[in-house]
Amino acid sequence: MAEFLQFLFSGLTVGAIYALIALGFSLIYNASHLINFAQGEFVMIGGMATVFLAAAGIELPLAALLAVLLAVAVAIAIERLGIAPAKGASVVGLIIVTIGASILIRGLAGIVWDRNFHSLPAISGEEPLVVMGATLLPQSLWIFGVTGLTALLLWFFFAKTLWGKAMMAAAYNPLAAQLVGIDTRRVVLVSFALAGALGALAGVLITPLAPTHFQVGVMLGLKGFAAAIVGGLGSGLGAIVGGLVIGIAEAMAAGYLASAYKDAVAFVIILLFLVLWPSGLFGLRGIERV
Amino acid sequence: MLLEITGLCSHYGRIRALDGVDLSVGDSELVAIVGANGAGKTTLLRTISGVQPASDGSIRFRGADITRTPPAKRVRLGIAQVPEGRQMFAPMSVEDNLILGGFTRPRHEIDSSLETVYGLFPRLKERRRQPAGTLSGGEQQMLAIARALMAKPDLLLMDEPSMGLAPRIVERIFDTIRELRSTGVTMLLVEQNAFAALSVADRGYVLESGRIVLAGRAAELLADDRVKAAYLGL
Ligand SMILES: Nc1ncnc2c1ncn2[C@@H]1O[C@H](COP(=O)(O)OP(=O)(O)OP(=O)(O)O)[C@@H](O)[C@H]1O
Ligand SMILES: [Mg+2]
């Protein structure tokens, strides 16, 4: 039981991180029907920029904030320079643009920063709490709290505010959105900015538990993508549930089978869902096509 | 003139859907456009709203050139559209669809506008919490009209508001058009139902293969032998 609980805690922790990344995928998918394969790089920027800004003497909270802003700036640059000018390009063409952007960002990170692993101190120390025989790190509590709060804020924004509703409207019916005066290009830009912030936030939070590196975005991006597919691309609740499902499945596979299987789990789950259940747990495809 | 279009052309790839259209709409006028399937009626309204680019010619609204103005900005200038096929925000509630119709309006005016359109369509008020996609076809058409009215447009473009509806509902829609007309809303109405459209309109245009082939007072067009033969089935 203690062992199971231990795996569960670790699965929920990493799952919450995947959820934040998946939310970024879903935001951009909703606004533009794109899969943004640079999403993982925002996570990397969050961790690496915080590390290097902190090393330059900037206090940690400020360094983290600046890192998030840097990721937002990069996300905006991708949209302005890569997506917006390519009017009329196919979705596949634009997805390739995001793949190109991710390779470029990774390359630059390896040059501007370095190719070593780096960690950050945990926000509230490393003293674990013991819960029914299993240990829980305070950093996990921070991750649960920040992810939960972020999800709540996003829910409020999309369900209750006019701008949030306008962004959903642009996702459901871009033509009608334009005809009521919603600037759909601005919606895409805002989605990229938000996705950048969410990714970087995930990077800041996970670095104390899993060291960062200029290539860390590849795997984290794929896990977040898997989470978005499981939950149903475009669904906020789906992104959260999908993240937790992938995180827990990975932790259980690593714990009860062998840690070598850990990364394979996400891929097997992606394949299963793409083949058997492409709309995901909370996918809206059924209602959307009325 | 509220709307003045000269020499307007528009293409889908190499297909020319509009071929030098000249058309105008004056303040408080109701102008009808009739034409067969594929004549370019929808394309014309899409080009006026800016969701379809003009390849030549110009569109002036209240004297200002808006040919290259982005669609969202044209709504702010006062042009709203009831698009062909209703185009709901299907998973969203009726009320959210309406609120979004007023996206360009000052926040404090939305509630009173909601009451106004609910007064026009009491059925929508009963259904206001229901997802728009679950409404019947007629109810969706009412919602599409109500949503466009929420923008409080100076010019309302309507693309076949009666399409696919039962005669009783069609009558209801045309009653609404008459009501709007009496309150001074300027309208450009595209209709398959040429008789009904020309009966409520002040003026009309006949569009054929992207060109205006006839224009005049609606009553004259109704009496025109060519119109009778081609569009009124007489
Ligand atoms: N997306 C498109 N791609 C290519 N051609 C198009 C497209 N939309 C319309 N067309 C073509 O442009 C011409 C005008 O179409 P449009 O939809 O404006 O006609 P319409 O008068 O509204 O017809 P209907 O009465 O059937 O609604 C047609 O020949 C049509 O085939
Ligand atoms: Mg049409």
**pLDDT per position as a tens digit, B141-168:** 999 999 999 999 999 999 999 887 888 8
Do both B187 and B119 map to the same domain?
Answer: no
Q: Are A183 and B72 within 8 A, CB to CB? A: yes
CA of B44 to the centre of ligand 1 (A): 10
Point out the residue among A166, A184, A287 whose CB comes nearest to the CB of B90. A287
**What's the whole-number mean pLDDT along residues B187-198?**
91
* Burial bucket for residue A116 (CB in 10 Å: 0-12, 13-18, 19+): exposed
CA B227 – CA B234 distance, rounded (Å): 9
Which residues does chain A have within 8 Å of residue B71's beta carbon, measured at their own beta carbons? 178-179, 181
Q: Residue B174: its pLDDT value, please?
A: 92
> Do the domain assignments include residue A205?
yes
Across residues B57-76, what is the average pLDDT?
97
* pLDDT beyond 80 at A223: yes
| Pocket flag, ligand 1, residue B164 (CB < 6 Å) | no
Contact B151, A180 (CB under 8 A): yes
B164 plus B108 within the same structural domain: no
pLDDT band for A176, please (50, 70, 90 cuts).
very high
8 A C-beta contact, residue B82 and residue B155: no
Domain of residue B228 covers 1-78+158-234
- CATH number for position A154: 1.10.3470
Contact across the interface for B89 and A288, Cβ inside 8 Å = no
pLDDT band at residue A284 under the 50/70/90 scheme:
low
- Percent of chain A scoring above 70 in pLDDT: 98
Q: Which of residues 96-115 of B touch A (CB under 8 A)?
A: 96, 99-101, 103-104, 107
Confidence at residue A280, expressed as pLDDT on a 0 to 100 scale = 86
Q: Are B135 and B162 members of one domain?
A: no
B171 and B131 within one domain: no
Looking at the structure, do residues B93 and B67 belong to the same domain, yes or no? no
* Any atom of ligand 1 within 6 Å of the Cβ of B209: no
Q: Supply the pLDDT for residue A167.
A: 96
The total number of structural domains in chain A stands at 1
> What is the Å distance from ligand 1's center to B94 Cα?
29
Number of structural domains, chain B?
A: 2
Q: Judge whether residue A31 has pLDDT over 70.
A: yes
pLDDT of residue B22: 97
- Residue A94: pLDDT band by 50, 70, 90 thresholds? very high
Least confident of A134-143, A189-198, B1-10, B170-179: B170-179
Q: Is position A75 within any domain?
A: yes
- Quick one: what percent of chain B has pLDDT higher than 90? 81
Of A187-201, A274-288, B189-203, highest mean pLDDT = A187-201
pLDDT confidence tier of residue A143, bands split at 50, 70 and 90: very high
Range of the domain at A74: 2-276
Average pLDDT, whole number, for chain A? 93
Given a cut of 70, is residue B133 above it in pLDDT?
yes
Q: What is the CATH number of the domain that holds B47?
A: 3.40.50.300
Q: What is the pLDDT of residue B26?
A: 96
Q: Do B57 and B99 fall into the same domain?
A: no
Q: Are residues B104 and B62 in the same domain?
A: no
Q: Is residue A286 a part of any domain in this protein?
A: no
| Domain termination residue (choose one: B152, B170, B195) | B152
A282 in any annotated domain = no
For the entire predicted model, the pTM comes to 0.90
B40 C-beta closer than 6 A to ligand 1: yes
- Residue in chain A nearest B110 by alpha carbon: A162
- pLDDT of B186 > 60? The answer is yes
Per-residue confidence (pLDDT) for residue A278, from 0 to 100: 84
pLDDT at A290: 30
The last residue of one of the domains, among B128, B152, B176, is B152
Question: Rounded to a whole number, what is the distance in Å from the CA of A111 to chain B's nearest CA?
Answer: 41
Please work out whether the CB of residue B26 comes within 6 Å of at least one atom of ligand 1.
Answer: no
Q: Is A104 within 8 Å of A96 (Cβ atoms)?
A: no
| Cβ–Cβ gap B100/A166 under 8 Å | yes
Domain termination site, one of B105, B124, B152: B152
Q: What is the 3-state secondary structure (H, E, C) of chain A?
A: CHHHHHHHHHHHHHHHHHHHHHHHHHHHHHHHCCCCCCHHHHHHHHHHHHHHHHHCCCCHHHHHHHHHHHHHHHHHHHHHHHHCCCCCCCHHHHHHHHHHHHHHHHHHHHHHCCCCCECCCCCCCCCCEEECCEEECHHHHHHHHHHHHHHHHHHHHHHHCHHHHHHHHHHHCHHHHHHCCCCHHHHHHHHHHHHHHHHHHHHHHHCCCCCECCCHHHHHHHHHHHHHHHHCCCCHHHHHHHHHHHHHHHHHHHHHHCHHHHHHHHHHHHHHHHHHCCCCCCCCHHHHCC
Preferred mutation among A178, A179, A285 to probe B, highest tally of B CBs within 10 A: A179
Q: How confident is the model at residue A288 (pLDDT cuts 50, 70, 90)?
A: very low
pLDDT band at residue A285, thresholds of 50, 70 and 90? low
- The C-alpha angle A262, A13, A280, rounded to 5 degrees, equals 70
Supply the residue whose CA is at minimum distance from atom 25 of ligand 1: B37
Q: Are strands B64-65 and B3-12 parallel, antiparallel or unpaired?
A: unpaired
Q: For residue A288, is it within any domain?
A: no
Considering only CB atoms, A181 lies closest to which of B75, B107, B133, namely B75
Nearest alpha-carbon partner for A250 in A16, A2, A1: A16
Provide the shortest C-alpha distance from residue B167 to chain A (in Å): 23
Contact A176 B88 (CB under 8 A): yes
Nearest CA in chain B to A178: B72
Statement to judge: residues B65 and B164 lie in one domain = yes
Q: Do residue B131 and residue B181 come from a single domain? A: no
Q: Which of B144, B70, B53 is nearest to A187 (CA)?
A: B70
What average pLDDT does the segment A250-273 reach? 89
Q: Is residue A48 a part of any domain in this protein?
A: yes
Burial annotation B189-219 (CB, 10 A radius, 16+ → b, else e)? bbbebbebbbebbbbbbbbbebebebbeebe
